[in-house]
Every structure is written in C-alpha cells, then in structure tokens.
C-alpha cells in the first residue's frame, strides 16, 4: 500500500482516558447494582456513549425508559467530564508527540477518528490540537464503530482516499471499523485482543517513521 494519512483513535491511543471512562461507568454500575468488570469494559471501548449504556443495561438484565437512559448517560458523562477537565499535557501517552511530529515532517497527514463528543475538550486540555490536520469525532459523525463512518469522514477531511489511510486503534470495534472502511489498521495494545489488526504494537512509543515504512511495504 501507499500511506498518505494516519488516523488516530483518541481514547486509549493518544491519551489514557480509557481509565476515566471505566471509572465513570463503574460508578454508575455500582449505583445501579450491576456487576461490571475490566473485561466487560473492553466491549465498551470505541463504542458510543448510548450504545455503551445499552451494553451495560443488557449485562445487568435491566430494561429502562428512554428518559432514564438519558439520565444515566448524563450522570456518567458528568463524572467523566469531571476527570477530563483536570487533564494536563502529562497525560498524553508516551511517544505520541514525537511520532505525530515525525509524520507531519514526512508530509503524511494526520487526523483524529473518535466516537467521543468530548474530543475538543481533551485536545484543548492536553494542548495537542495543532498536531492534527482533521478531526472526526462524535460531534460530526452519527454511526458508531464498527461502522466505518468516523474514519471515512476523517479521510474526507484530509482529502485522502480511504485506501491510503492507516488507522491506529485500541478497540476491537475500532479495528473492525477500519477494516470496514477498507483501511489498514495498527492495533495499540495486546495482540490477543486486537488479532484482526494488520499489526499490533503496545503503544505509540513503539512506532516511528521507519516502522511505518516497513508496514507500508509489507501490506
């Protein structure tokens, strides 16, 4: 393949907000008396807020009214926002700034592809908005991963064809979304979980331009 753009998921790839999502959902599930483990949480990664709530209610065998759903989602988001308003640039995951800077020097475009409606606040708090040429997030995308819409939107914003994009993802649903868009994907995390990705690295600190060029040749 030929790589013209790299699209990055936000939560769990660029910043470690996955832990805050977990804590906020855990607080809600504790209040509702629904057992909720780290393993259950894997299913929520990359999944939109309302779809995540649906999974949680299903785990607990609960059915509630739409009004209650909105109340629960709002509670969770308020707790989550409480964490992220206190974020600092220290919480940018290791290797991110170095790799993104290297890509841009090499004329490879960069974008965010995230389901999160809180993307603007996170980028602002961590001061890394200027590292991205485009932002596709929960505010300009409707369909949740594994639907490819978020990555297709990012590619359009960058004016790059889908087939020239590589997606960096920590979520199973996100890797699937990249594949559904006809893009190549590099998993961030464990091979056991992200086995569908074309390659898996533990974090962006393990990435550099040279590795990306090797990936380009091999795929």
List interacting residues with Mg ion (CB under 5 A).
Answer: 9, 11-12, 170-171
H-only helix segments in the chain: 18-32, 38-42, 49-59, 66-84, 96-105, 119-126, 149-158, 172-180, 209-218
By CB under 6 A, tell whether 152 contacts ligand G6P: no
The one-character DSSP state at 170 is: S
> CA of 87: how far to CAs of 113, 148, 204, in Å?
20, 29, 19
CB nearer to ligand G6P: pick between 47 and 108:
47
**Smallest gap, in angstroms, from Cβ of residue 184 to ligand G6P?**
20
Site stretch for ligand G6P (CB under 6 A), options 62-70, 90-98, 102-110, 116-124: 116-124
Site string for ligand G6P, 40-79 (x = CB under 6 A): ----xxxxxx--x------------------------x--
Q: At what angle are helices 49-59 and 66-84 packed, to 10 degrees?
A: 120
**Could you tell me the smallest distance in angstroms from the CB atom of residue 41 to ligand G6P?**
8
Q: How far is the CB of 213 from Mg ion (least distance, A)?
A: 25
- Write down the least CB distance from residue 52 to ligand G6P, Å: 5
How many residues bind to ligand G6P according to rule CB under 6 A? 17
To the nearest 10°, the Cα dihedral for 19, 84, 171, 113? -170
Instruction: Return the sign of the alpha-carbon dihedral for residues 116, 113, 98, 129.
Output: negative
Asked if 118 interacts with ligand G6P (CB under 6 A), we say: yes
Q: Tell me whether residue 114 or residue 126 sits nearer to ligand G6P (CB atom).
A: 114
Q: Report angle CA 170, 60, 17 to the nearest 5 degrees.
A: 25
**Helices (runs of H) and strands (runs of E) counted in the chain:** 9, 6
Q: Does 117 bind ligand G6P (CB under 6 A)?
A: yes
Active-site residue list: 9, 11
Which residues make up the interface to ligand G6P (CB under 6 A)?
11, 21, 44-49, 52, 77, 114-118, 138, 171
């Amino acid at each position: 393949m030929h790589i013209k753009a790299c699209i990055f998921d936000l939560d769990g790839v660029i910043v470690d907000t996955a832990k805050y999502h977990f804590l906020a959902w855990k607080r809600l599930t504790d209040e509702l008396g629904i057992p909720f483990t780290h393993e259950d949480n894997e299913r929520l990664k990359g999944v939109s807020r309302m779809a995540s709530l649906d999974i949680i209610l299903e785990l607990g065998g609960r059915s509630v009214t739409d009004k209650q759903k909105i109340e629960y989602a709002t509670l969770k988001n308020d707790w989550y926002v409480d964490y992220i308003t206190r974020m600092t640039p220290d919480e940018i995951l290791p290797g991110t700034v170095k790799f993104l800077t290297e890509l841009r020097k090499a004329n490879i475009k960069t974008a965010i592809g995230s389901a999160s409606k809180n993307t603007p606040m996170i980028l602002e708090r961590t001061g890394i908005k200027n590292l991205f040429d485009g932002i596709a997030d929960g505010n300009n995308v409707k369909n949740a991963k594994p639907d490819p819409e978020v990555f297709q939107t990012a590619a359009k914003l960058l004016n790059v064809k889908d087939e020239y994009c590589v997606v960096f993802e920590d979520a199973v649903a996100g890797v699937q979304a990249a594949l559904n868009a006809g893009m190549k994907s590099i998993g961030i995390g464990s091979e056991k979980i992200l086995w569908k990705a074309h390659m898996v690295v533990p974090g962006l600190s393990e990435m550099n331009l040279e590795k990306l060029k090797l990936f380009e040749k091999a795929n």
